Amino acid sequence: MADPTPPDWSAAILAWRDALGPDRVFTAGPEMDALQQNVSALQRRIPARLVPRTTADVQRVIQIANIHRTPVFPTSTGANWGLGSGLPVRDDTAIVDLSAMNRIHEVNVAGHYADIEPGVTQGQLYDYLHANQLPLRLNVTGSGRNTSLIGNALERGIGYFASRADALSGMEVVLGNGEIVRTGCAHLDSSRITHAYPAGIGPDLNGLFAQSNFGIVTRAGFALMPDAGQAMSVVAKIADDEQLIPFFDALIDLRRRGIVQTIWHVGNRQRSEIALGPLVADQLRQQVPATPPTPLREQALALLAQEGFGAWNAVGGVFGTPTLLRAMRREIKAALRGLAHVTFLDDRKWALAERWLARWPAWPAVRRKRIMLQAIKPLYQLAQGVPTDAALKSVAWPVGQDTSKPIHDVDPGHSGMLYVLPFFPLAGAVAREVIDVATAILGQAGFEAYITLNFISSRIAEAVINCAFDRRDEQATAAAHRAVDELTERYIAMGYPPYRLGIQHMDKLVDGDKPFWQTVRALKQTLDPNGIIAPGRYCPPNS
């Protein structure tokens, strides 16, 4: 049964200040105001923001929360953009901000892993690997440098190379009852295989803490990739939307045969425009600083049109020896012949293009290609495992927010963005169906459908569908939420549930009357009997 004892916030806040220090507990001021600034245009009542520095701090936070029945919601860096950012699922929940727990304890080259805390970002770990010249590659996401590795993996985020669902091992977790559990072989003091064999002995508990509210992960191993020879990016595009099904089926075949080893990322023209438009504008701005903002935007879109970005544009990656890459290039060209225009890029070809284009800078055609080359460079480097903030400008671009300066956080400002993230079986005809539904529902509400399809494996794909709106416009904000609600419900009814839910959509799938969710509730009652951690997050309420 749910505990009827009401929360005692005043006593809890006093106890937290005594345990963490007054400079680590906030109840008002800019540290609290910043939480309500989020790109999803959602609001929650938040009594306090707690900033622990150690696992012992987190354990004390939970012990105090249990005493005073005050629920808490852990965030790593709060960059759950488009899905609620750093806000809790429910009102009257304190935030446990883990961003100060950002130590890299070890990077093991032979074992291909990093032992890190939840505040470690993909930018921070990349910088560490680069500074120490370690022969390891990071499975980056297209999100910003300041996004948490552990937080994203616990949400089963999708990287450039692969899903991050199985990236974590040897997790240290503070349970809702205040105890600490270590998964896999991490609980064995003598273990030397913790991060090489994540399952360990007995039941595999690693998956228990992904998309759950049973505990707070304070440390974990994060899988890295060894440098696997040379890398080659593949860019394929089609000019006509009618070619979509055979184009997708050809891409699927290349994935299933292992020719393209990374995830195919396939975006529609609208997605390409918001991703590349601000980057092209940056390059134009550097060359003609006096160009006013509106003409500059028009110039950028015109240049993209001239350079022939297609109705759909696919990017994938191949790794190996020069001989292997030549063979793969032949296979890819043969598979896409007559369907798509294909370009291959690697570091050598990139350097040659830069040198060649620098010879004739005044020629209009050369100038356009040089601008495009520099604009896509940050996105090309994702294939090298280099995280970037460049893609964050795509959130500001659709509603005309200034993109002339670097953007490291999309929550400030007036740009709004909501995501719908359905999984679907990997087939061209199914992809067509998913696309048509998004285009119809968002279009009827007056919004553009910005779509990327990620071919995660040989069997499953994820759609990343954005709805952009201006948060200053209350009617547009409400309409965007209604459209995204409808689209989410439609995909669930079609059998294509989202792989990840926004904080406002937990009730779309969490059904306490179903055996699955009853089992989840039973686990919650065992590991967090007072329902302290993240109430409402992927779990039905206690009854």
Which of 226, 241, 262 is the last residue in one of the domains?
226
Higher-confidence position of 11 and 321:
11
Predicted local distance difference test score (pLDDT) of residue 291: 56
Distance of CA 356 to the CA centre of its chain: 36
In this prediction, residues 418-443 reach a mean pLDDT of 97
Predicted local distance difference test score (pLDDT) of residue 177: 94
> Do 235 and 380 share a domain, yes or no?
yes
Q: What is the mean pLDDT of the chain?
A: 93
SS (H, E, C) 355-420: HHHCCCCCCHHHHHHHHHHHHHHHHHHHHHCCCCCHHHHHHHHHHCCCCCCCCCCCCCCCEEEEEE
Which amino acid would we find at residue 522?
A: A
> Do 297 and 265 share a domain, yes or no?
yes
Q: Does residue 72 register a pLDDT over 60?
A: yes
pLDDT tens-digit readout, 229-249: 788 899 999 999 999 999 999
Which is it for strands 230-238 and 415-420: parallel, antiparallel or unpaired? unpaired
pLDDT tens-digit readout, 329-375: 999 999 999 999 999 988 888 888 888 877 777 677 778 888 888 89
Nearest Cα to Cα of residue 458 among 316, 324, 261: 261
pLDDT tens-digit readout, 247-301: 999 999 999 999 998 999 999 999 999 999 999 999 988 876 555 655 788 889 8
The torsion angle over the Cα atoms of residues 159, 122, 537 and 182, rounded to 10 degrees, is 100
pLDDT tens-digit readout, 103-117: 999 999 999 999 999
**Under 8 Å between Cβ of 265 and 234:** no
Find tokens 């937080």 and name the residue.
151
For 348, the 3-state DSSP assignment is: helix
Predicted local distance difference test score (pLDDT) of residue 358: 78
Angle at 146 between CA 274 and CA 450, to 5 degrees: 20
Q: What is the pTM of this model?
A: 0.94
pLDDT tens-digit readout, 393-421: 999 999 999 999 999 999 999 999 999 99
pLDDT class of 135 with cuts at 50, 70, 90 = very high
Q: Does residue 306 register a pLDDT over 90?
A: no
> Do 376 and 430 share a domain, yes or no?
no
Which residues constitute the domain of residue 450?
Answer: 415-503
> Do 110 and 93 share a domain, yes or no?
no
Q: Does residue 543 register a pLDDT over 80?
A: no
Please state, in angstroms and rounded to a whole number, the distance separating the CA atoms of residues 382 and 161: 9
In this prediction, residues 162-171 reach a mean pLDDT of 94
Judge whether 3 lies within some domain: no
In this prediction, residues 195-220 reach a mean pLDDT of 96
> Do 246 and 373 share a domain, yes or no?
yes
Judge whether 251 lies within some domain: yes
Please state, in angstroms and rounded to a whole number, the distance separating the CA atoms of residues 155 and 165: 8
Please state, in angstroms and rounded to a whole number, the distance separating the CA atoms of residues 393 and 280: 11
**Strands, DSSP E only, in 421-470?**
423-425, 450-455, 460-470
Which is it for strands 264-268 and 230-238: parallel, antiparallel or unpaired? unpaired
CATH code of the domain covering residue 258: 3.40.462.10
Q: Does residue 153 register a pLDDT over 90?
A: yes
Predicted local distance difference test score (pLDDT) of residue 293: 58
Please state, in angstroms and rounded to a whole number, the distance separating the CA atoms of residues 320 and 368: 32
**Helix H or strand E encompassing 538:** none
Measured distance between the N- and C-terminal CA atoms of the chain, rounded to whole angstroms: 5
Evaluated on CA atoms 240, 244, 250, 251, the torsion sign reads positive
> Do 235 and 350 share a domain, yes or no?
yes
Nearest Cα to Cα of residue 521 among 503, 537, 502: 537
Transcribe 59-126 into DSSP letters: HHHHHHHHHHT--EEEESSS--TTTTTT--SSSS-EEEE-TT---EEEEETTTTEEEE-TT-BHHHHH
> Do 240 and 217 share a domain, yes or no?
no
- Count the Cβ atoms, other than its own, within 10 Å of residue 429: 11
Nearest Cα to Cα of residue 87 among 114, 58, 49: 49
> Do 446 and 348 share a domain, yes or no?
no
Which of 226, 241, 272 is the last residue in one of the domains?
226
**Helix H or strand E encompassing 512:** none
Residues forming beta bridges with residue 168, ordered by sequence position: 222
Q: Does residue 527 register a pLDDT over 80?
A: yes
Which of 204, 226, 248 is the last residue in one of the domains?
226
Find tokens 């709805």 and name the residue.
467
Please state, in angstroms and rounded to a whole number, the distance separating the CA atoms of residues 452 and 291: 31
Judge whether 540 lies within some domain: no
> Do 110 and 87 share a domain, yes or no?
no
Across the beta sheet with 104-108, the strand order is: 104-108, 113-116, 215-223, 168-175, 180-182
> Do 123 and 240 share a domain, yes or no?
no
> Do 114 and 259 share a domain, yes or no?
no
Nearest Cα to Cα of residue 303 among 285, 275, 284: 284
Query: What are the structure tokens assigned to 3, written together?
Result: 């505990």
Judge whether 535 lies within some domain: no
Long-range own/partner contacts, residues 519-525 (CB < 8 A, 24 or more apart) = 520/212, 523/208, 523/212, 523/214, 524/176, 524/213, 524/214
> Which residue intervals of 288-381 are DSSP H helices?
293-306, 322-336, 347-357, 364-380
Q: Count of domains in the chain?
A: 4
CATH code of the domain covering residue 18: 3.30.43.10
Give CA separation, 491 vs 287, 351, 423, 424, 478, in Å.
Answer: 45, 44, 9, 9, 20
Torsion angles phi and psi, residue 526, rounded to 5: -80, -45
> Do 222 and 234 share a domain, yes or no?
no
Q: Does residue 444 register a pLDDT over 80?
A: yes
